[in-house]
Amino acid sequence: MKKYTTICLVLLSYWSSAADSLIVQSPDKKITVTVFLKNTIWYRIDYANITILQPSEIDLLLVSGKMSDDLKVAAVKTIAVNDSIISPVPEKRKIIPDVYNELAIKFKKPYTLLFRVYNDGVAYRFATAFRDSIIIKNETAGFVFNTNEKVFLPIIHPRSDADHFHTSFEELYQFKNVDSIAKTDLAYTPVLVGDTGAIKLGITESDLEDYPGMFLSGDSNNTLHGEFAPYPLEEKMTEGGFQQLLVTKRADFIAKTKGKRNFPWRIIMIAPTDRDLPGNDLVYRLASRAKQKDVSYVNPGQGTDEWIIGINLFNIPFKAGVNTATYKYYIDFAKQFGFERIMMDAGWSENLDLFKIVREINMDTLSAYAKRQGVKLSMWTLCATLERQLDSALDQFNKWGVDFIMTDFIDRDDQKIVNFYHRIAKACADHKIMIMFHGAYAPKGFNRTYPNAVTREGVLGSEYNIWSDKP
């Protein structure tokens, strides 16, 4: 629901590299971002006239060189926006204020640098306008903090069978000094900086598409650096019960992508007090709008999830297990206690073939029984299997009355896997099925772009979009 938008355009045909800084403030004037354009690109953030982020470097490295190799500016545009977003499915609030000032720096090279300053944070992104596809060798995303800052971050414990970019995104958050984080320490975002009583800075990203997610490492100083998984060139399937693809060889670049595009937003949430942090929805505001018009089938609600189904039913006239009788019992339970759906977790089919259903289950019987009881079915899937059998599997799920599926054991966020998320979410949207990604990175705005999709992990997490409308 747009209220008003004010636009101010300044053409800088006279701009030279000697004029090397620009300033943009938040609507309430408390946050000031200063952008420095001299030799490279730096930015600084002040809150109430106190520097909370020291000058920090940003850049994109293409095969042809760095974006900052030539900082000649063609134009600068500032926009003051007072808008609102109406969420089509339950979020923290139905009407989300979207109020910010934006600074757009258009360079003579075919790219633009955007800064948005809200009352509760800062975000920046690159936008390119190359005619042909481009290869991104790397990205510089620096975050330089004041001395002796504390940080909450989930440092990855490397797997024995994979490189350190493989993670289930389920690490415990640790409380450390920023200057104790080494180059070899790798943490996924979001990361929270700030001690008790201090202004909190939440570092994360939004609108992640066709690009790897951002990890953070340190330098045993006061800086965190963006790290990005190189593009996977070769993969192998693991053995065992829950197979997944591990990268065995990576490229010397992080992404090959369209030349004309917007890159992900880099976000610094700013919370003067602890109570300001939970209500911060900058990630949602900065995400792309929903890509499907009809979201009427996205129905939050409660559901059962048996997991170890064979050992938690007692005093019953049948053998508990992954079988038709047990799932009928769960359907009855869901109806009696007002649950909208039941989950059929791992084991209902062979992991590598969703059409090889275990002989103890008759899906036609269960589907008909669930429909009579007014209860929906939800299905677990292995992500590699779902991708291989996607269209036929979703058609079958529609026939069974399945309205929600989970896909599991992803454990990556390189460019190839990020594209997997979008491809799966779109296919599920086309079939009017909700999807949860498990072993997954935090939503990063994905739940706005695809309201039918959520991810299980992440402190920004919104699995409650599916499981409950009551947090």
Annotated catalytic sites, by residue?
Answer: 408, 463
What are the structure tokens assigned to 395, written together?
């058609």
Q: Is 307 exposed, middle or buried (0-12, 13-18, 19+ CB in 10 A)?
A: exposed
324, 366 in Cβ contact below 8 A? yes
CA–CA gap between residue 121 and residue 87 (Å, rounded): 20
152 vs 434: CA distance, rounded Å = 32
State the sign of the Cα–Cα–Cα–Cα dihedral 40, 41, 46, 49: positive
On whether the CB atoms of residues 51 and 31 are closer than 8 A, the answer is no
Residue 184, classed as helix, strand or coil, is: coil
Cis ω on the peptide bond leading into residue 190 (within 30° of 0)? Answer: yes
Which candidate, 127, 124, 117, 170, places its Cα nearest to that of 143? 124
Q: Which two tokens stand for residue 40?
A: 């490279």
Rounded to whole angstroms, the Cα distance separating 325 from 54 reads 62
Degrees to nearest 5, angle at CA 274 with 269 and 276:
55
Distance in angstroms (rounded) separating the CA atoms of residues 213 and 422: 13
**Burial of 216: CB neighbours in 10 Å, binned 0-12, 13-18, 19+:** buried
Collapsing DSSP to helix, strand or coil, 99 comes out as strand
Question: Which residues on adjacent β-strands are paired with residue 376?
Answer: 341
Distance CA 409, CA 240 (A): 13
